[in-house]
Amino acid sequence: MASMDFDPERMLSALTDAELRYILIGGMAAVLHGDVGVTVDIDIVPERTDENLERLAAALSGLDARIRTEGEPDGLAFDCSAEFFRNLPPDSIVNMTTEAGDLDVAFCPSGTSGYADLKRDAIDIEAADRLHILVASLEDVIRSKEAAGREKDRLALPRLRRLLDHLSGAG
């Protein structure tokens, strides 16, 4: 798996084909809004219902998802089941590596209260041919990055705010 090519379209297709209810957030969401930043993973916020966790586990198993960790390029195998995700604390982030690249799953990203909160302003975007996904609004991407406060987010935020101004005609 270490030699895989990053393939976000395949990842998003697998999630969508599994009928998973999720919101795309993070750097790739910003890219779909028009950001020019570099991002090398996918961040999603799934709805945390029993039925959806089953779909999440099935989609991730299909992508051979493993836990991403330093010093283990292929990641670590884990119990990829609905039960695993059900037992996680609400603010957990699961960093995974898959056959199609790195994927992070968060149920309650920083600065948000999760799927329902983000769905309110999410936008349906055709990210590839007939691949429609719900993408967090740029305002919510910014809100989450502001709250996360990581160095890479701090560096991206002035550009994302500028993009927001640009899109609203204020830039």
Partner 1 sequence: MSISNIVREARRRAGLTQSELAERAGVPKSTVGRIESGARNPSTGMIERLVRASGLDISVSLSEPDPGTDSMFERTLRRSPAERLADATRVARFVLRGRRQVATASDG
Q: By the criterion CB under 8 A, which residues form the site for partner 1?
A: 2, 5-9, 28, 31-32, 34-36, 38-40, 101, 110-111, 125-129, 131, 143, 146-147, 149, 158-159, 162-163, 166-167, 171
Query: At its nearest, how many Å lie between partner 1 and the CB of residue 23?
Result: 15
CA dihedral 25, 116, 46, 87 (to 10 degrees): 130
In 3D space, the residue among 58, 64, 91, 59 whose CA is nearest the CA of residue 77 turns out to be 64
**Of 171, 162, 147, 166, whose CA–CA distance to 26 is shortest?**
147
Is 28:43 a contact under the CB 8 Å cutoff? yes
Shortest Cβ 83–partner 1 spacing (Å): 26
Q: Which is nearer to partner 1, 51 or 91 (by Cβ)?
A: 91
**Between residues 52 and 109, which has the closer beta carbon with respect to partner 1?**
109
Shortest Å, Cβ 51 to partner 1:
28
